[in-house]
Structure 1
Amino acid sequence: MWALPGLPEVEPGADLAALIAAAGPDLADGDVLLVTSKIVSKAEGRILPATSRDEAVDAETVRVVARRGPLRIVENRQGLVMAAAGVDASNTAPGTVLLLPEDPDASARALREGLYRLLGVRVGVLVTDTVGRPWRNGLTDIAIGAAGVRVLDDLRGGTDSHGNELSVTVVAGADELAAAGDLVKGKASGLPVAVVRGLPHLLGEGSARELQRTAGEDMFRLGTSEAVREAVTRRRTVRTFLPDPVDPGAVRRAVAAALTAPAPHHTTPWRFVLLESAASRTELLDAMREAWIADLRGDGRSEEAVAKRVRRGDLLRAAPYLIVPCLVTDGAHHYGDARRDTAEREMFVVSAGAGVQNLLVALAGEGLGSAWVSSTMFCREVVRKVLGLPGDWDPMGTVAVGRPAAPAPDRPPRDPAEFIEVR
């Protein structure tokens, strides 16, 4: 592995393949070129005048992943997660910034084809850029564009030296090459291209996008504060569920989050009844249905109207898991004054609502959909009897839980200013 000497300063519109061919006329079949993205960007004219680097970062940002002070880790237009969207204010003239190549894979393909045309050699090309990494100090290079290189080396199904089957081992060979190449290129030595010889088995078809985890695969998609906001935003009322069983551990983790809600007088006014068996759910919903029908008929509703309203309970029947949150006011103060006693109970009700909201948000964070339905509040005695609850437990609705059967529709935008009064 060595760096190619003699490359001139790259200007916009330069034929980068020709410059590399002139600096490395002895390139051979099977070589892999590691090309710093900065010279690719310069050749492609990805230089912008910018009075503020932040403006360029904003323009290249698709999603903010994490923020701490002025530092932003974002997903950029190329799908890469990195600091400042990969916008670089170094190695470029003052008052300008460098953007990453528009399509790094296409840039790598163009270089590979150009070198074949000029030198008649079939090489692999990786376009590389410098990034930081979660949990690790220091910077390293990764592959952001690839052509003629197998970026991943899938060893699953093989065995190690002790005969153990490899079940999860997929090596990021392109990133390993990119990091190794930086050892000979350096960050400030003016050597933006390295050559690796002797690893022809890594040549093949590949795209650097294979190295990027999809949203569903990424367990660490968001920073801490962003994760909280995302979970709150993701919390939607889900009305149709898949029949898949719900992980009881996920529900218990959500209950643990619910228990962090504020409460009056240092009390713990929340209880959660988890209906994990189909028999318990059916028994409760059947009893509630009968109570609901009796109430509706007592209100003089027609049988058609009764049937229509009762059908609304199908949401709870379709859910594979139900939670009945209950309010317990055993720590409430009793003043003997109706006004103050009413306010005292309202404090506990507000606390119960905060606990339910924490529960719903935490369920969303676990990838579970939910719907809070007020039904149990209208037949508390029935619920207490069926579930065998103490008389001072007040059921505060029912939470249906499950995997959403379909994505929730977009929520209509709400302008916070319409809900705020400033004094």
Structure 2
Amino acid sequence: MSEERPEYPEYTVRALNGIPEVQPGDDLAKLIAAAGPDLADGDVLIVTSKIVSKAEGRIVRAADREAAIDAETVRVVARRGTLRIVENRQGLVMAAAGVDASNTPAGTVLLLPEDPDASARGIRAGLRDALGVTVGVVITDTFGRPWRSGLTDVAIGAAGVRVLDDLRGGTDAYGNPLSATVVATADELAAAGDLVKGKAAGRPVAVLRGLPHLVVPEAGEGAEEGEAGESDTGARALVRDPQDDMFRLGTSEAVREAMTRRRTVRAFADDPVDPGAVRRAVAAALTAPAPHHTTPWRFVLLESAESRVRLLDAMRDAWIADLRRDGRSEESIARRVRRGDVLRNAPYLIVPCLVMDGSHTYGDTRRDAAEREMFVVATGAGVQNLLVALAGERLGSAWVSSTMFCRDVVREVLDLPADWDPMGAVAVGRPAEEPRARPERDASAFVAVR
């Protein structure tokens, strides 16, 4: 029964006393109705998930809690020692997948409700049947939060509640447009309820009264029979979509994800490339190891179409001349040139170069060759950093060796110093399509242990 927001809203929140220890199979709505016979239309019930899990029989034998966490984990977000932050089967990102070894008999663990939104809908319907009231229900669990110390309760399930208050499109008190403000109302309700609840003291349910505008209609009151009321999206709406989640991974997991995403892209979309993203990737490249405390990397950024075409045309002409000297047929030459179009199709090019500033000269062929190899390896490490950082920016790339076969041409066209050695070219852009899955490789096949 939604109402207009009052001009000066105020609310009260109190814990319900008298709810017994919940057992598997118990009807939570009846237990809550018995403890709160004075519940009224527009109230919001804030229910600890632990009693929902117990009523739904989500108590399992588990001598090894870690194994139970593994079973409930879909994706590891971050790991530090034995602590794991994971995405669980309910789509929630939290510590230990929500598997709780407290408030449950020894030798057992408590799993979260299988479908918290469905559990909330069941409690709401049960209270309507028992007391004839239209209420909202929020099921809560305790979370830690990025950037903040301490724990708080948040909504993991909801029914009959506007879980998000979207203020975008409005204005603030000064007339400034609101373009990003979406309030997590259900989480605020969960935290308010937790101030008065006491899980260990037998008070697992709180009642918030005074904000009926947050309660959405029942079916038949503005909603089709059998469907949720208007704006009754459930707490699932609070889970951020992966593509919008800038903090989806922990530090080491993000590095591994970026390395996994680093794939050679052969086809690029026409979308322009953000020069700032490229410069951030170059900054990452400069953290690579190098011999003698040197900085052997230089990166030439071809941001204009004119500079890219001029370079690629000159390289193509040099390549064709080489192929003709090799005795290739014109048909074979044309085929090979077409295969080299990955650079021409990219909206951005980078030419990494090696400089030998700071290198040592020994006057010995073997040692001088090894000295250059050290610098070449360092340049490769810098380019790898660059490619991984580009992947972290959601940019595809392809590192090809073509500039190494016509270094004089590249230096002349790009007006580079004589001691800059082009080390291939990196095509950059948004991939035109998702790369095919990388085949799994057994790391042991590439390792020798002595």
Quote the residue 2:57 is aligned against.
45
Match of 1:120 in 2: 132
Q: Which residue in the other structure is 2:329 paired with?
A: 302
Q: Distance in 2 between matches of 1:276 and 1:85?
A: 46
Structure 2 residue 185 is matched with structure 1 residue 154: no
Is residue 144 from structure 1 mapped to residue 171 from structure 2 by the alignment? no
Q: Provide the residue aligned with 2:448 in structure 1.
A: 421
What's the TM-score, normalizing by structure 2?
A: 0.92
Aligned 1:34-183 pairs, distance under 5 A: 34-183=46-195
Output the amino acid matched with 1:89: A
Match of 1:260 among 287, 305, 311: 287
Give, in whole Å, the separation in 2 of the partners of 1:89 and 1:419. Answer: 41
Aligned to 2:299, the other structure's residue is in SS state: strand
Deviates more, 1:258-267 or 1:117-126: 117-126
The residue number in structure 1 matching 2:18 is 6
Query: What is the one-letter code of the residue matched to 2:243?
Result: G
2: CA distance between counterparts of 1:293 and 1:276? Answer: 25
Structure 2 residue corresponding to 1:293, chosen from 297, 320, 330: 320
SS at match of 2:431: coil
In the alignment, what sits opposite 2:429? 402
Deviations 1:387-421 (A, max 9, x none): 01111111000000111121111100000000000
> Distance in 1 between the 2:266 and 2:125 partners?
53
Deviation at residue 187 of structure 1 after TM alignment: 4.3
Select which of 235, 240, 243 maps to 1:213.
240
Return the letter of the residue paired with 2:324. R
Partner deviation per Cα, 1:238-263 (whole Å, 9 max, x = no partner):
11111111111111111111111111
Structure 2 residue 362 is matched with structure 1 residue 341: no
Q: TM-score, normalised by structure 1?
A: 0.98
Q: Which residue in the other structure is 1:389 paired with?
A: 416
My pick for the range that moved more, 227-236 or 394-403, is 227-236
Which consecutive residues of structure 1, in runs of 5 or more, have no partner in the other structure?
none
Deviates further, 370-379 or 21-30? 21-30
Question: For the residues of structure 2 that align with 1:3 and 1:180, how far apart are their CA atoms?
Answer: 11
In the alignment, the residues of structure 1 paired with residue 314 and residue 177 of structure 2 have an alpha-carbon distance, to the nearest angstrom, of 53
Q: CA deviation at 1:161?
A: 2.1
Q: CA deviation at 1:50?
A: 0.7
Mapped to 1, the partners of 2:75 and 2:29 lie a distance apart of 33
Residue 278 of structure 1 corresponds to which residue in structure 2?
305
Q: Which amino acid aligns with 2:249?
A: L
Shift of 1:165: 2.1
Shift of 1:180: 0.2
Runs of 4 or more above 4 Å deviation: none
Distance in 2 between residues matched to 1:260 and 1:241, nearest whole Å = 28
1:224 corresponds in structure 2 to: 251
Cα separation, 1, equivalents of 2:251 and 2:199:
31
Distance 1:403 1:42 in 2: 49
Note the aligned Cα RMSD (angstroms): 1.1
Q: SS where residue 358 of structure 1 aligns?
A: helix
Q: Distance in 2 between matches of 1:269 and 1:21?
A: 74
| In 1: Cα distance, 2:381 partner to 2:171 partner | 52
Q: Which runs of 5+ in 2 are unaligned?
A: 1-12, 217-231
